[in-house]
Structure 1
């Protein structure tokens, strides 16, 4: 009985429901206390920030690609150690835990490259399509894996937050996959508009965030379509996946992917992008994964462990380019 209870607890996954922030009424600008402060932040200071974000985005689009990327590298190394001390501390702790045999100098170099990559990633968002479509900017490996898997039926593109992962979107569309992606909009209104606009322009479909995106994803896969899910993730400042030696759990996208694959018969196609130097990249589509036949002794935890065994070595080998390095283990 106790064993069954432990198994039941391990296989439960709490659904996350996304709630979009609401706008305070304009009348609150003339109210008092917290209501007025919230209205001022949203309608006045918030709109100044929105204008700044839009100006930066379109200003970066006008820059040459290498300049745009280099500006991000400088910004990352300048801003992150000065204004994100908690994240830097978490990243240092993670490097000590994951690379116990590395020297302090080696871990410091990895951390600096992480700052550079994060900065480059942010500024390159303005020129993603240009980077993906410029000959020689990205070397593509194994892209036929996507096409062949899609010929056989529905596909789950299992992405990783490495290098500049946004480069995968225009490539997948050019291959005829055009996946729909579940994503959470950034907090800033202008940033959310930019992110939505960029994804729609390359031909991505957008699924509702959190729990509300599950049913549409199932319907797309049952119709033989394609969805994209990131298997590595940080949620509320904590790393959910990969597991990095921790006990497997079902509180993350690893579990979402294998559940959807079991339910719809979809093929899982792991993929990732690595930065070589500056704004030049290599992208990899790995051998597609079809989950083994289910038997009475297998469980969803076994499936999660199998998928984790594929993605974790890739993340471990490229911690300097991993977006969630500064989340807590």
Structure 2
């Protein structure tokens, strides 16, 4: 049976989610909501549903509503997530929140704790690893072909350069030094954690180029981040917001190396290559040919369909809370990492240990 959904925030992302749900047999969007009446009305007409202008009215007038999808934005793309998410959880609704979970780590901690207390699903749109290449890469790991993890290299950001630069005009970006950290680093950190587990140590060397300084732009747009994982592996994340043209690997690449093999995903949805460690390989010999799986697509937009469908599968299948994919807890973990990056930057590049996640208490309906 299709899950009944109400969407809050009918700007670009909200309409994107609604379009994805329209093509999904597990979804039944019954209402949309936006504090800007014109946006709510336009979306309601486009998708053939009822418009609301407050979440309170939508919840009170739609008793069959099961999921509230929060696609609002705000400062650092996340400051308008906390209040509607808390309101929906208080009403006993399952919630999916766009990334980042919140733009303030303290609100993120409170949100996750409240969802656990109310015993509702809280998910986040960590869509970058809901892809065929990521599934193939996870198969390499689960089958033991990667072996003991050694390192993880991630590069995600935007192409650009000085000639393409323009000072941001939006008050949601302008004047906020941590916009790129808070609005974007959720994605690469979520992918790194998906494959390599929890991060225990973070150190960043971050800055902004001269052309941003000369324009009065305070955004810390270049982030060179070193990490250590709980399993002993090390990692590196490079992210920049259009300060240079990206080279090898494109705008999105992830390389994970282990004692038995190494895989590399290129451009998120396009392909994955796997190099198998074989006996007799000399340290500086010619690299053996990889196994390459090319999925024949560059359509990043499909990641939204895959991720939203996975959330609906989990909700309709009533999975145990510890098995919810891309959960609020997962989103909180990467929010803690982003907070640690900010703290490391403010301390001049000191190593920072992110706050560990709260203990998981387990689902009493599942644990015997």
TM-score (norm 2): 0.26
* Bigger relative contact order (CA 8 A; separation at least 6): 1
Give the number of the structure whose residues are more often helix, by fraction.
1
TM-score (norm 1): 0.29
Give the number of the structure whose residues are more often strand, by fraction.
2
